[in-house]
Chains A and B, each alone.
Chain A
Amino acid sequence: MSSALSPRTEQLRAIIRKHKRWDAAFGVLGLLAMMVGVLTLAALFSSMAIDGIPRLTGDFFTSFPSRRAGQAGILSAWVGSILVMLVTAFFAVPVGIAGAVYLEEYAKKNWFTDVIEINITNLAGVPSIVYGLLALGLFVYAFGLGQSILTAGLTLALLILPIVIVTTRESLRAIPQQVREGAYACGATQWQVVKDHLLPYGTPGILTGVIIALSRAIGETAPIITIGALTFIAFLPPVPFAGEPAAGLFDWLFSPFTVMPIQIFNWTSRPDPAFQQNAAAASFVLVFMTLGMNGLAIWLRYRLRKNIKW
C-alpha cells in the first residue's frame, strides 16, 4: 500500500500525525493541570484529618483555650464566630439587597449610577486587610466601638457587601420582564412589584449569594486581626438578648471575642506540635463550616428553583 502513495502524501500524513499527537498531549496536560488542584485539596484534607481527627472529642468543643495543648478547646472561638456572623448578616443582608434592588430596578442611567457601579467592582478587588485598616481607624478609634463583636461584624459586613449586591442583582436580572410588566399592568407601584414579585422570585438566588458571602466571611482572618482582636479568650460573651432590658440586652455586642480563624492562627504559630494538632482539628471544623455552608447554598438553590417555572 504505502509504496503506492507518493512521498508528498507520506509527508502530509506525518504532519497530520504530529498535530494529532499534540492534540492528545494537550488533553493529557489539561488533565494533569487539574490534578494539581485536586491533589492539593486531597492532601490538604487528609493532612488535616490525620492530625486533627484524634483531637475532635466532645471536650474540644466545650473547652476554652488553654496553655496545655491537650486541654485546649474551641468553645470561645466557635461561639465568637457565630455571634460575629449574626452581626454581619444583620447588616450586610438588608443593606446589600436594598442596594441591589436600587441599582437593578430604580437607578437611572446617569453618571452617579456609573460611579456606584464602578465603586462596587473596585471594592470587590480591595484586599481584605485594607477593610481591617478601615475598621481600625473608623470603628475602633473614631466611633469608639473598641475591639468588639460589633466592630468585627460590621467590618465583615462591609467586606461581603459587594458579593451580596452582585449575586442579588444577578438573580433579579434573571426574572423575566413579563413579571414586572404584568404587575404594573394591574396597577402595582414599583415597590409593590419589588416586594410582592421580584424579591420572592429572586429568593433562591439571593439566599445562595448570602450564604456564600457568609461562608467567605467566616473564614476571614486578616481584617479581624487588624482590628486587634485578642487571641486568648477564656470566657464567653454575655448571652445575646438575655441581660437586663435596655442596657443589658446588647452587652454581647461590645464584648471582647475570638473567632475560629484567629484561634487557628494562634495555634499554628506555636512551635509545639501538640498545638499544631489543635490547629489541624480546628481547621477541620472551620472547613466543615465553610463547605457545609456552600453545600447548603447549592442544595437550597436546587430545592427552591424546582418550584419556579417561567
Chain B
Amino acid sequence: MRYLPLTDNDRQAMLAKIGAKCVDDLFVDVPEVARLNGPIHGLPMHASEMAVERHMKKLAAKNMAAGDVPFFLGAGAYRHHVPASVDTIIQRGEFLTAYTPYQPEIAQGTLQMLFEFQTQVARLYGCAVANASLYDGSTACWEAVAMATRVTKRKRAVLSGALHPHYAQVVKTMAHFTGDEIADALPAITPDPELAGLIARIDEETACVVVQYPDILGRISDLTPVAEAAHAKGALLVVVNTEPVALGAIKSPGEMGADIVVGEGQSLGVGLQFGGPYLGLFAVRDPKHVRQMPGRLCGETTDAEGKRAFVLTLSTREQHIRREKATSNICTNSGLCALAFTVHMTLLGETGLRQLAAENHRLACLAADRLARVPGVEVLNNAFFNEFTLMLGGKPAREIIRDLADRGVLGGVSLGRLYPGVDALEHALLVAVTETTTEEDIERLAQELEASIKETV
C-alpha cells in the first residue's frame, strides 16, 4: 500500500521491541465481540492511483461544470475567476500540511498570513478587528447572534426577511437549543428592501437585528437608519454579506454603523466546490467587543530577541482553555481558505478589487437590461450589485430553471427552492453575473429564457 512505509520486517522488529507476538496483541483491550476478523465486509480492497482516478473521474463527469455552460447562479455562492497563483500557493506543503499554529516559533508563515487576512477583512468590512475565520457565512451569522446575546445580555434576535433563508434556518436551529428567541419574516417582494417594517420590530428586548447586504434578492439600501434604530433600543446591528466583491464598490457595513459584520468569503480564492469548504468572515466595529468574539485571533508580539512575531491570542475565550465557559465550541476553522482569500485579495489590491467590482456591476447592468426585454420578464430591483431578481410573470421559476438546464444553460436560482411553499416567490428567479460571464452568455440566457417561458405553462 503506497501510503504505508512499514515493511513486514520492520513490523516484526518493532513487535519484538514491544514484546508482542503479533499486532492483535496490541488490541487486547478491545472486547472480543467488537473485534473484526479480517477486512471489513461490504467494501472493496485497495486500489491503484490509476484505478481510483478512473472511478472519481467517472463521477466528476456526471456533473455539469459551471465553466462549461452559460452560468448565472449565486444566492450566497459566486463563481469568480481565481488567479492561477492562488492554488499554487495554497498547495505548498508548508501551508497545506501544517496544523493550527500552536507552536508559533515554527508557524510564523500561517500566523503572519492570518494577521494579513484579519487586516484585509477588517478594512473590507469597515471594522476594527476581524477573527482568523469561521466555517462559513451561515455559521458565522449564528455566532454573531450568539455574541450579541452575550454583549447585550438579551435573548431576542430580529432577522430581516431578506436574510439568506439557509442562514435564517441555521440561526433558528441553534436558537431553539440555546433558548434564544428569533423573530424572522419572509422577504417582501418590493423593488427596495422594506426597512421600516424591520425597524418596527426592534424593541427593548432585542439583542440584535440581522440584515443582509446586498440582500437575498440582490437589493441594496442604506442601513444607517437600522443602525440608529437598533442603537436607540440598546441592540446591536449585525450585517451579513455573502458577496465580498460587492464591498469593492458599495459602502462598507461598518461605515453604516454595523456593530458586527459577518459573511461568506468564498468569492475570493475559494471557488464554488458544491458548497464547501467555504470561509466564514467575522469582524467587529468597536474593539471593545473583541473579548466577546468567537474563534481564533492572531495578534502581534515580539520574540525573545525582540523580533516582531505573531501568535494566537486571547485564547481564554476559547474551548481548549475555558471548556464549558467558552464563547464558542469552534476549534478547526477555515485556515487554508483564509490563505486563498488573502492571496487573491493581495493580487487584487485596492485597485484590482475596485476594477473587479466595477466589471461585475457593468455586466450585471447589461444582463438586467437585456433580460428585462424578454417578454413577460421584469427586473424587481431598483439597486443591485451583481445579482438581481427577475419576476417571471406567473411562470414557475423552478420548472424554468430545469428546462434551461436541459437547454445547456444554468440560468439562476429559483427562489421557490429556497422558500418552499411561499406562492409569491414561486415566480421569482435570482440571477447572478460576475466577471466570468460573457456578453454571449447573457444573450444566450435571454434567448433560452424567452423560449422556455413561451413553452412552459
A in complex with B: no
B residues adjacent to A (C-beta < 8 A): none
A residues adjacent to B (C-beta < 8 A): none
